[in-house]
Structure 1
């Protein structure tokens, strides 16, 4: 039974890493967005809009 555990243990760790990093990335951007919204400086808002525009331009279009 130990060989079965040694076979599936690395796959289980990989599965959890893949799914946890995807969720954390999305949440991190949302938290950053909330911080930018609450910032009183207009420079920060301008930089955020440049960042959003540059990321949306580099995304592949869906056809």
Structure 2
């Protein structure tokens, strides 16, 4: 029966990982709400540059 448990253990871990509460997104986008609420225009310009460079890197 030990082999049966060793077979189902990884499947059980995968099941719990897929059906657990979703985690917050990671990366630069966790700062999006802070940047959006910031009143300074230069912060918004820097954010747009950062997002553009990030999307260019992910496309390549």
Q: Name the TM-score, length of structure 2 as normaliser.
A: 0.54
CA–CA separation in structure 2 for the residues paired with 1:33 and 1:48: 9
Unaligned runs of 5+ in 2: none
Q: After superposition, where does 1:1-63 map in structure 2 within 5 Å?
A: 1=1, 3-14=3-14, 16=17, 24-25=24-25, 29=29, 31-60=30-59
Count of residue pairs brought into register by the alignment: 57
Q: State the structure with more CA Rg.
A: 2
Deviations 1:9-47 (A, max 9, x none): 223324517x86x86326x82x52122110112232122
Q: Name the TM-score, length of structure 1 as normaliser.
A: 0.53
Unaligned runs of 5+ in 1: none
CA–CA separation in structure 1 for the residues paired with 2:55 and 2:13: 32
User: Over the residues paired in the alignment, what is the CA RMSD in angstroms?
Assistant: 3.4
